[in-house]
Structure 1
Amino acid sequence: MIFLELVLQNFGPYNGRQVINLDPKFNDCTRPILLLGGMNGGGKTTLMDAIRLALYGHRAECSTRGNLSYTDFLTQCVNSKASPYEQTRVELVFEHIENDKPVKYKIVRAWEKNPKEGKDSLGIFGDDDTWSIEALVNTWDDYIENILPLGISNLFLFDGEQVKELAEQEVPPPIVVDAIRALLGLELAERLAVDIEILVNRKRKEIADKEDLANLEDIENELKQIQEEFEVNKLSYANLQEELKLFEQQYQEAENKFISEGGKIAAERSFLDQQKKEKTAETEQIRQEMGQLAADVLPLMLIQPLLTQVQTQGEKEFRARQAQIVQDILLERDQRLLDLIGKLDIAKESLDKIKVFLEEDEYRRNSSSLKEQPWLLADDEALSQLGNVIYYLHNAEISAKQLLASLKNKEEEILSIERQMQTAASPEAYDRLRDAMQKAQKQVTEAKANCETARRRLVELEAAIEKAKKNLKEYTEQTIDRKNREHIITASARVQETLKLFRERLTLRKLNKLENEVTECFRYLLHKSDLVHRIAIDTNTFSLSLYDLQGKPVPKHRLSAGEKQLLAIAFLWGLARVSGRRLPVAIDTPLGRLDSSHRSNLVERYFPSASHQVILLSTDTEIGEKEVETLRKNEAIAREYLLKYDSSTRQTTVQPGYFW
Structure 2
Amino acid sequence: MIVENFRQFRGRQAIEFWVPSLPHQNVTVVFGENGRGKTGLFRAIMFCLFGERRLSQDGNVPREELQLVNVSALEANTGPVRTSVELEFTHMGQSYRLRRAILGMQDGERIIEEEDEKRLFVITSDGNTQTVPTTEIDAVIDSILDRRVKDYFLFDGEKIERLTRASIEQRREISAGIRNLLNVDALETAIRAVGRVSKALERELSNSSHEELSRLLKRLRDNEEEQTQLRKRLDSLADEMRLARQEVDKTDNELKKFNEIRHLLDRRKLLEQELKDQEQQADDVLKEMHNLVCKASALILSPTVITVFEHIERQKQKGEIPSEIRRDLIERILTDDKCICGRGVLKDPLAHSPILDWQKRTSDVATQDAALNLWRYLSEVRNHFGDDADLVEKRLQQYGNIRSAIANINRSLENVSNQIGTSERQDATKLDEHRKKLQDGIITLEANARNAQTLLEQLKQEEERLRALLKEERLKVGRNDELSRRSILARDTQDALNDVHDQFTREIKQLIGQSATQFFRELLDKEGRENLRTIVVNDDYSLQVLDRYKKPFLANISAGQRQIMSISFIAALARAASRGGQIEIPLFMDTPFGRLSFEHRQNLINHIPTFASQWILLATDTEFRRQEANLLKTSGKWGKFFILRPTHDGNTTIEEQDINSALAILRDEEDY
Interval containing the TM-score (normalised by the shorter chain) = 0.5 to 0.7
Please tell me the residue identity of whatever aligns with 2:20.
K
Contact 1:38–1:44 under 8 Å retained in 2: yes
Residue aligned with 1:539, SS: coil
Residue aligned with 1:617, SS: strand
What per-residue deviation string (whole Å, max 9, x for no partner) do you get for residues 559-581 of structure 1? 33222222222222233334424
The one of 55, 68, 79 aligned to 1:61: 55
Contact 2:227–2:459 under 8 Å retained in 1: no
The whole-number CA distance in structure 1 between the counterparts of 2:485 and 2:616 is 55
Q: Specify which structure has the bigger relative contact order, considering alpha-carbon pairs within 8 angstroms and separated by 6 or more residues.
A: 1
Contact 2:86–2:97 under 8 Å retained in 1: no
The answer to whether 1:32 aligns with 2:34 is: no
Contact 2:36–2:652 under 8 Å retained in 1: yes
Please list, as runs of the form range in 1=range in 2, the aligned pairs for 1:46-445 lying within 5 A after superposition. Answer: 46-58=40-52, 60-61=54-55, 63-64=57-58, 66-69=60-63, 72-73=64-65, 75=67, 77-82=69-74, 83=77, 84-97=79-92, 102-113=94-105, 119-127=114-122, 133-137=133-137, 140=138, 142-169=139-166, 172-185=170-183, 189-201=187-199, 233-234=233-234, 236-238=236-238, 240-242=240-242, 244-245=244-245, 445=440
The whole-number CA distance in structure 1 between the counterparts of 2:90 and 2:40 is 22
Please tell me the residue identity of whatever aligns with 2:573.
L
Contact 1:31–1:636 under 8 Å retained in 2: yes
Residue aligned with 1:26, SS: coil
Number of the residue aligned with 1:614: 615
Number of the residue aligned with 1:563: 561
The one of 496, 499, 518 aligned to 2:497: 499
- Larger mean Cα displacement after TM superposition, 124-133 or 512-521: 124-133
Q: CA deviation at 1:88?
A: 1.4
Q: 1:15 to 1:488 in 2, by over 3 A?
A: farther
Residue aligned with 1:112, SS: strand
Could you tell me the TM-score, scaled by structure 2's length? 0.58
Q: CA RMSD in A?
A: 4.9
The whole-number CA distance in structure 2 between the counterparts of 1:602 and 1:17 is 34
Q: CA deviation at 1:44?
A: 0.4
Number of the residue aligned with 2:596: 594
The whole-number CA distance in structure 2 between the counterparts of 1:200 and 1:76 is 47
Number of the residue aligned with 1:16: 11
The answer to whether 1:630 aligns with 2:631 is: yes
What per-residue deviation string (whole Å, max 9, x for no partner) do you get for residues 265-302 of structure 1? xxxxxxxxxxxxxxxxxxxxxxxxxxxxxxxxxxxxxx
Contact 1:507–1:539 under 8 Å retained in 2: no
The whole-number CA distance in structure 1 between the counterparts of 2:421 and 2:183 is 65
Residue aligned with 1:200, SS: helix
Q: CA deviation at 1:556?
A: 2.6
Please tell me the residue identity of whatever aligns with 2:634.
K
What per-residue deviation string (whole Å, max 9, x for no partner) do you get for residues 29-76 of structure 1? 44322222222221101111112222232474254463313xx14536
Contact 2:206–2:218 under 8 Å retained in 1: no
In our comparison, the structure showing a higher alpha carbon Rg is 1
Q: 1:224 to 1:79 in 2, by over 3 A?
A: farther
What per-residue deviation string (whole Å, max 9, x for no partner) do you get for residues 424-472 of structure 1? 999997999989977875675567557756876787799889989969x
The whole-number CA distance in structure 2 between the counterparts of 1:652 and 1:515 is 40
Q: CA deviation at 1:90?
A: 2.3
Q: CA deviation at 1:179?
A: 0.9
Q: 1:80 to 1:521 in 2, by over 3 A?
A: same
The whole-number CA distance in structure 2 between the counterparts of 1:624 and 1:168 is 28
The whole-number CA distance in structure 2 between the counterparts of 1:425 and 1:524 is 43
Q: 1:168 to 1:56 in 2, by over 3 A?
A: same
The whole-number CA distance in structure 1 between the counterparts of 2:420 and 2:542 is 52
Q: CA deviation at 1:525?
A: 1.7
Residue aligned with 1:161, SS: helix
The whole-number CA distance in structure 2 between the counterparts of 1:425 and 1:106 is 51
Give unmatched runs, 5+ long, in structure 1: 1-5, 264-423
Please tell me the residue identity of whatever aligns with 1:609.
T
Residue aligned with 2:531, SS: coil
Please tell me the residue identity of whatever aligns with 1:153.
K
- Larger mean Cα displacement after TM superposition, 436-445 or 153-162: 436-445
- Larger mean Cα displacement after TM superposition, 236-245 or 571-580: 236-245
Residue aligned with 1:22, SS: coil
Q: 1:449 to 1:146 in 2, by over 3 A?
A: same
Contact 2:80–2:103 under 8 Å retained in 1: no
The whole-number CA distance in structure 2 between the counterparts of 1:112 and 1:42 is 21
Q: Percent identity?
A: 20
Number of the residue aligned with 2:545: 545
Please tell me the residue identity of whatever aligns with 1:95.
T
Contact 1:233–1:458 under 8 Å retained in 2: no
Please tell me the residue identity of whatever aligns with 1:151.
R
Please tell me the residue identity of whatever aligns with 1:152.
V
Contact 1:532–1:554 under 8 Å retained in 2: no
Residue aligned with 1:42, SS: coil
Contact 1:526–1:563 under 8 Å retained in 2: yes
What per-residue deviation string (whole Å, max 9, x for no partner) do you get for residues 316-364 of structure 1? xxxxxxxxxxxxxxxxxxxxxxxxxxxxxxxxxxxxxxxxxxxxxxxxx
Residue aligned with 2:62, SS: coil
Contact 2:28–2:639 under 8 Å retained in 1: yes
Residue aligned with 2:12, SS: strand
Contact 1:254–1:440 under 8 Å retained in 2: no
The whole-number CA distance in structure 1 between the counterparts of 2:493 and 2:12 is 56
Q: 1:114 to 1:488 in 2, by over 3 A?
A: farther
Please tell me the residue identity of whatever aligns with 1:66.
N
What per-residue deviation string (whole Å, max 9, x for no partner) do you get for residues 562-606 of structure 1? 222222222222333344245222222222221211111111122
Q: 1:554 to 1:53 in 2, by over 3 A?
A: same
Please tell me the residue identity of whatever aligns with 1:104.
Y
The whole-number CA distance in structure 2 between the counterparts of 1:427 and 1:524 is 48
The answer to whether 1:43 aligns with 2:47 is: no
The whole-number CA distance in structure 1 between the counterparts of 2:96 and 2:250 is 50
Number of the residue aligned with 2:482: 484
Contact 1:49–1:62 under 8 Å retained in 2: no
Number of the residue aligned with 2:513: 515
- Larger mean Cα displacement after TM superposition, 17-26 or 238-247: 238-247
Q: 1:119 to 1:488 in 2, by over 3 A?
A: farther
Q: CA deviation at 1:493?
A: 3.0
Please tell me the residue identity of whatever aligns with 1:12.
R
The whole-number CA distance in structure 2 between the counterparts of 1:61 and 1:188 is 26
Please tell me the residue identity of whatever aligns with 1:146.
S
Contact 1:35–1:615 under 8 Å retained in 2: yes
The whole-number CA distance in structure 2 between the counterparts of 1:568 and 1:610 is 16
What per-residue deviation string (whole Å, max 9, x for no partner) do you get for residues 293-316 of structure 1? xxxxxxxxxxxxxxxxxxxxxxxx
Please tell me the residue identity of whatever aligns with 1:32.
N
The whole-number CA distance in structure 2 between the counterparts of 1:74 and 1:506 is 36
Residue aligned with 2:67, SS: helix
Q: CA deviation at 1:164?
A: 3.3
- Larger mean Cα displacement after TM superposition, 626-635 or 180-189: 180-189
Q: CA deviation at 1:228?
A: 8.0
The whole-number CA distance in structure 1 between the counterparts of 2:633 and 2:237 is 49
The whole-number CA distance in structure 2 between the counterparts of 1:159 and 1:630 is 22
